[in-house]
Protein backbone atom coordinates (compact mmCIF):
# COMPACT_ATOMS: atom_id res chain seq x y z
CA UNK A 1 0.00 0.00 0.00
CA UNK A 2 1.22 3.50 -0.81
CA UNK A 3 1.95 5.99 1.99
CA UNK A 4 1.43 9.73 1.47
CA UNK A 5 4.07 12.26 2.57
CA UNK A 6 2.35 12.92 5.90
CA UNK A 7 2.42 9.25 6.92
CA UNK A 8 4.79 8.27 9.75
CA UNK A 9 7.34 6.35 7.71
CA UNK A 10 10.96 6.70 8.89
CA UNK A 11 12.30 5.75 5.46
CA UNK A 12 10.33 8.52 3.78
CA UNK A 13 11.45 10.96 6.48
CA UNK A 14 15.10 9.96 5.90
CA UNK A 15 14.83 10.51 2.14
CA UNK A 16 12.95 13.81 2.34
CA UNK A 17 15.53 15.07 4.86
CA UNK A 18 18.20 14.36 2.23
CA UNK A 19 16.28 16.33 -0.42
CA UNK A 20 15.99 19.31 1.95
CA UNK A 21 19.73 19.14 2.65
CA UNK A 22 20.54 19.01 -1.08
CA UNK A 23 18.31 22.01 -1.79
CA UNK A 24 20.18 23.92 0.93
CA UNK A 25 23.54 22.96 -0.55
CA UNK A 26 24.45 20.76 2.43
CA UNK A 27 25.82 17.78 0.52
CA UNK A 28 27.34 16.18 3.64
CA UNK A 29 23.87 16.03 5.22
CA UNK A 30 22.32 14.89 1.93
CA UNK A 31 24.56 11.80 1.86
CA UNK A 32 24.64 11.16 5.62
CA UNK A 33 22.19 8.26 5.43
CA UNK A 34 23.71 6.51 2.41
CA UNK A 35 25.24 3.07 2.81
CA UNK A 36 29.01 3.28 2.15
CA UNK A 37 28.55 1.04 -0.93
CA UNK A 38 25.31 2.62 -2.18
CA UNK A 39 24.49 2.09 -5.85
CA UNK A 40 23.24 5.35 -7.39
CA UNK A 41 22.06 5.35 -11.01
CA UNK A 42 21.15 8.51 -12.89
CA UNK A 43 20.01 8.59 -16.55
CA UNK A 44 22.96 8.82 -18.92
CA UNK A 45 21.27 11.88 -20.45
CA UNK A 46 21.67 13.83 -17.17
CA UNK A 47 24.78 15.98 -16.72
CA UNK A 48 27.26 13.78 -14.84
CA UNK A 49 24.72 10.94 -15.16
CA UNK A 50 25.38 7.22 -15.12
CA UNK A 51 26.19 4.79 -12.33
CA UNK A 52 27.89 6.03 -9.16
CA UNK A 53 29.10 3.49 -6.60
CA UNK A 54 29.68 4.47 -2.98
CA UNK A 55 28.74 7.43 -0.82
CA UNK A 56 31.82 9.47 -1.84
CA UNK A 57 30.97 9.09 -5.54
CA UNK A 58 27.37 10.14 -4.87
CA UNK A 59 28.57 13.16 -2.88
CA UNK A 60 30.75 14.18 -5.85
CA UNK A 61 27.80 13.74 -8.23
CA UNK A 62 25.44 15.76 -6.00
CA UNK A 63 28.02 18.51 -5.57
CA UNK A 64 28.43 18.81 -9.35
CA UNK A 65 24.65 18.78 -9.78
CA UNK A 66 24.05 21.42 -7.12
CA UNK A 67 26.76 23.67 -8.54
CA UNK A 68 24.89 23.93 -11.86
CA UNK A 69 22.21 26.04 -10.12
CA UNK A 70 22.39 29.67 -9.02
CA UNK A 71 18.85 29.42 -7.60
CA UNK A 72 17.05 26.13 -6.90
CA UNK A 73 13.57 25.29 -5.68
CA UNK A 74 13.16 21.60 -4.85
CA UNK A 75 9.68 20.09 -4.46
CA UNK A 76 9.86 16.35 -3.69
CA UNK A 77 6.78 14.22 -3.13
CA UNK A 78 7.47 10.78 -1.67
CA UNK A 79 5.40 7.65 -1.32
CA UNK A 80 6.03 4.02 -0.56
CA UNK A 81 5.60 1.48 -3.34
CA UNK A 82 6.15 -1.95 -1.90
CA UNK A 83 9.60 -2.09 -0.30
CA UNK A 84 10.80 1.01 -2.17
CA UNK A 85 10.28 4.74 -1.76
CA UNK A 86 9.36 6.66 -4.91
CA UNK A 87 10.03 10.39 -5.07
CA UNK A 88 8.55 12.56 -7.79
CA UNK A 89 10.93 15.49 -7.72
CA UNK A 90 10.06 18.80 -9.33
CA UNK A 91 12.93 21.27 -9.57
CA UNK A 92 12.86 24.77 -10.91
CA UNK A 93 15.09 27.77 -10.79
CA UNK A 94 17.97 29.41 -12.60
CA UNK A 95 21.10 27.71 -13.82
CA UNK A 96 24.52 29.32 -13.27
CA UNK A 97 24.52 30.63 -16.85
CA UNK A 98 21.26 32.53 -16.18
CA UNK A 99 18.98 30.08 -18.00
CA UNK A 100 15.66 29.33 -16.31
CA UNK A 101 15.18 25.58 -15.92
CA UNK A 102 12.39 23.33 -14.73
CA UNK A 103 12.08 19.54 -14.67
CA UNK A 104 10.18 16.73 -13.00
CA UNK A 105 11.97 13.43 -12.47
CA UNK A 106 11.30 10.25 -10.51
CA UNK A 107 13.73 8.60 -8.09
CA UNK A 108 13.29 5.13 -6.61
CA UNK A 109 15.07 4.42 -3.34
CA UNK A 110 15.74 1.17 -1.51
CA UNK A 111 16.38 1.62 2.20
CA UNK A 112 17.71 -1.12 4.48
CA UNK A 113 18.70 -0.76 8.11
CA UNK A 114 18.18 3.00 8.07
CA UNK A 115 20.47 3.57 5.08
CA UNK A 116 19.86 4.11 1.38
CA UNK A 117 21.39 1.12 -0.41
CA UNK A 118 20.20 1.92 -3.94
CA UNK A 119 18.71 4.79 -5.92
CA UNK A 120 17.58 4.67 -9.53
CA UNK A 121 16.47 7.88 -11.23
CA UNK A 122 14.19 8.26 -14.23
CA UNK A 123 14.07 11.31 -16.50
CA UNK A 124 10.30 11.56 -16.00
CA UNK A 125 7.68 9.93 -13.76
CA UNK A 126 6.17 8.32 -16.90
CA UNK A 127 9.35 6.21 -17.24
CA UNK A 128 8.83 4.48 -13.88
CA UNK A 129 8.30 0.76 -14.31
CA UNK A 130 4.62 0.06 -13.77
CA UNK A 131 3.69 3.73 -14.22
- CA-CA-CA-CA torsion for 55, 4, 127, 16, nearest 10 degrees? -20
Tens of pLDDT, residues 91-116: 999 999 999 999 999 999 999 999 99
**5 pLDDT exceeds 80?**
no
**40 pLDDT exceeds 80?**
yes
How many distinct structural domains can be found in the chain?
1
Answer for the pair 31, 18: CB distance below 8 angstroms, yes or no.
Answer: yes
Residue 102 lies in a domain: yes
Residue 43 lies in a domain: yes
CATH number of residue 119's parent domain: 3.10.450.50
- Domain hosting residue 49, numbered range: 10-127
Amino acid sequence: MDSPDDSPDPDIDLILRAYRAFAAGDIAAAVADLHPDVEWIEPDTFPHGGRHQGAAAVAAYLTASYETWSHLVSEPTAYRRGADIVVVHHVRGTLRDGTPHEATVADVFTVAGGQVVRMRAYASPAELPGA
